[in-house]
Structure 1
Amino acid sequence: MSIFLLRRVLYGALVLVGVNLATFFLFFTVNTPDDMARLNIGGKYVKQDTIDKWKAERGYDKPLYWNASRMGRAQLTDTIFWDRSVSLFTLRFGRSDSESAGDIGAEVAQRMGVSLKLALPLFALQVLASVAFALLLVLFRRTRLDFWGVVLCVVMLSISSLFYIIVGQLLFSRVLRLVPISGYVPGWEAVKFLALPISLSLLARLGGEARLYRAMLLEELGKDYVRTARAKGLAEGRVLRRHVLRNALIPIITSAGSYLPYVFLGSLVFESFFGLPGLGAYVIDAITKQDFAVVRTMVFLGSLLYIASYVLIDLAYTWADPRVRLA
């Protein structure tokens, strides 16, 4: 297993390097440091002195890839590429490009706690609710409950997340006044600000996940080991829980594990609409301000988390099915 993990980590490192290089190249091909200065200062007809001052304050006055005026190692290290791309691998993110230029690393560390408070309960509830709903539909398959349950899943899947947000805020915040419509405070009082976005996000994803898990469980029901378990006289509910669900864990882990990066990066839409100061709102705000330093950082973190999540998924396979061997 150690050889497998080492190989996967090396593959992941190569992917991360490729993504980082491609991101840096695309960003600075589309927008030169002068273009970025004009976008942040606000206008095409900005004096060159103002542009140069903005670039000097944020370290964009250096050569892009290679400093021909320096000798030795300094030729590479004294460049924008080194400061804004290579430094990401040491988790040094630098300053943002907006006028309120702050330290990106400090912002990420501060906002990650809010995103975790939103996403960790959501992740656990999402898996439990989706699997439980799918098991219920499979247990009552070929009945009206199964039929209308699938119809409900399709309807829930077809509705946009924005609809859930607008209706939820109108009903629970404006009409019933059970929870605040937006905002956030630290501590235990954060529960009342997180309850509605967690519930609505769970509702928005429940239909698609439950329908997917139902299909996985139904596929397992047609296999020989299920007929053997039934021939032994086991109740249908026990067959589903002890045999079918366990053998369907591999695809369920794959589906649920792909959602893990969102646990750390936050929900873009829900954090923005509910005024939660998490990483998702940070990304939206950076895109609005055209703060490319923040966007590049979040692309890098997203790639890193996706690679880590798929390594964890492979490890979870061995727990779910002892027949799986990582070599």
Structure 2
Amino acid sequence: MTAYIIRRVLLIIPTLFIVSLLAFFLIRWIPGDVIDLMVAIMQQYVSLGSETTSTTGGGGEVSEQLARKLRAQLGLDVPAYVQYFRWLGEVFQGNLGESLWTRQPVGADILFRLPVSLQLGLMAIIFSLLIGLPVGIISGIRADTATDNVLRSGSIGMICIPDFWLGTMVVVYPAVWWAWAPPLFFVRFADDPIGNLSHMFVPALIQGMLLSGITMRFTRTMMLEVLRQDYIRTAWAKGLRERVIVVRHVLKNATIPVMTMIGLQLPVLIGGAVIVEKIFNIPGLGSLLIEALEKRDYPVVTAINLLMAGFVLTVNVLIDIAYAWLDPRIRYD
């Protein structure tokens, strides 16, 4: 087991290296340039501060000089591969670089927003389990009955509903019909726990409801597979009660594959809840990533992608370890 864990941890290193290459260079291949965007914004401020602006003459030359100066200041005046190795050297020293716009450390921005995304993701997972697991268990036990058909239809509906549509409806229609809207002013848990939970409750519930459809379907499938095993038939033949069979024999084996799905959902929730964070004004990693993409803030985009990749790989290793703990038959040689 120890040797297996060491091998898995060592495999994380080349995987992160490949992810860093893709994240670093792909963002630079997107049409548009951060320097051109900065120059355009600076010229707008200058034009707003002056009564007249010149559209001909030396404007283009001034813009080129400003662009060259900005490239030199931001370290973008060298080839991309040189920039990559410079950035990689800083990463090995624990420095994820600085934002091209704010000149603040990227690591500080991520650490400021990461707890918010973690809270949203964990709350969504909790709601997903509270809804999806009981429904999936009941649907599996009562397979092909009217109850099963109703529950399966509901789970399919949860899978099909887009989160942006449901989030928008929750914000708009209660405000129109009942003059009520979910809180849209974010406060941190340390500052106001009640206000924070009231703000995070609705978006977490929305995400949890949508994820519960997948959880329910997967749980039902695994329940049916385990219920058809010979040792379950033996338990029925011995006259054990249904609750004893389900709790002691079925659930433990049925939930092992479900753990994989739940573990892989958390990284997606933390980094992928972009639309929900925007709708409910939540300052998490998803909104930070969108802002960085809009501004072509290369270090921020690269750091978030690297962080999420490392998080996914770590969760996978922990899930494999949990497999052996839940099922003694599983051994890693």
Task: Give the shorter-chain TM-score range.
Answer: 0.7 to 0.9
Distance 2:318 2:306 in 1: 19
Distance 2:94 2:275 in 1: 26
Q: Which residue of 1 aligns with 2:322?
A: 316
1:107 aligns with 2:113: no
The share of aligned pairs that are identical, in percent, is 30
Q: Flag the structure with higher helix content.
A: 2
Distance 2:177 2:185 in 1: 18
Kept after mapping to 2: 8 A contact 1:118/1:198: yes
Kept after mapping to 1: 8 A contact 2:118/2:270: yes
Distance 2:296 2:25 in 1: 17
Q: Which residue of 2 aligns with 1:80?
A: 83
1:202 aligned to which of 200, 204, 208: 208
Distance 1:154 1:63 in 2: 50
Q: Which residue of 2 aligns with 1:72?
A: none
RMSD of aligned residue pairs (Cα, Å): 2.4
1:51 aligns with 2:67: yes
Distance 1:90 1:251 in 2: 38
Amino acid at match of 1:153: S
Q: Which residue of 2 aligns with 1:122?
A: 124
Deviations 1:34-88 (A, max 9, x none): x3311343389672221122223322234543xxxxxxxxxxxxx4223323433
- SS state at 2:240 partner: coil
Measured after TM superposition, the shift of residue 148 of structure 1 is 1.0
Q: Which residue of 1 aligns with 2:16?
A: 16
Measured after TM superposition, the shift of residue 29 of structure 1 is 5.1
Amino acid at match of 1:301: L
Aligned residues: 311
Decide whether aligned partners of structure 1 residues 173 and 119 sit closer, same or farther in structure 2, where only a CA change above 3 A counts: farther
1:219 aligns with 2:225: yes
Kept after mapping to 2: 8 A contact 1:21/1:85: no
Measured after TM superposition, the shift of residue 173 of structure 1 is 5.1
Decide whether aligned partners of structure 1 residues 64 and 164 sit closer, same or farther in structure 2, where only a CA change above 3 A counts: closer
1:258 aligns with 2:256: no
Measured after TM superposition, the shift of residue 134 of structure 1 is 0.4
Q: Which residue of 2 aligns with 1:303?
A: 309
1:94 aligns with 2:97: yes
Distance 2:273 2:93 in 1: 25
Decide whether aligned partners of structure 1 residues 159 and 263 sit closer, same or farther in structure 2, where only a CA change above 3 A counts: closer
Amino acid at match of 2:10: L
Q: Give the TM-score normalised by the residue count of structure 1.
A: 0.87
Q: Give the TM-score normalised by the residue count of structure 2.
A: 0.85
Kept after mapping to 2: 8 A contact 1:184/1:275: yes
Measured after TM superposition, the shift of residue 30 of structure 1 is 5.3
Kept after mapping to 2: 8 A contact 1:119/1:266: no
Amino acid at match of 2:136: A
Distance 1:184 1:247 in 2: 41
Q: Which residue of 1 aligns with 2:147?
A: 145
Deviations 1:102-122 (A, max 9, x none): 321111111112112212222
Q: Which residue of 1 aligns with 2:47?
A: none
- SS state at 2:185 partner: coil
Deviations 1:224-272 (A, max 9, x none): 0110111121122321221111111221111111123246436212111
- SS state at 2:96 partner: coil
Q: Which residue of 2 aligns with 1:39?
A: 37
Unaligned stretches of 5+ residues in structure 2: 44-59
Unaligned stretches of 5+ residues in structure 1: 66-78
Distance 1:89 1:127 in 2: 38
Decide whether aligned partners of structure 1 residues 190 and 174 sit closer, same or farther in structure 2, where only a CA change above 3 A counts: farther
Amino acid at match of 1:246: K
1:277 aligns with 2:280: no
1:245 aligned to which of 245, 251, 254: 251
Distance 1:156 1:263 in 2: 16
Kept after mapping to 2: 8 A contact 1:37/1:51: yes
Deviations 1:291-315 (A, max 9, x none): 2221111111111111101101111
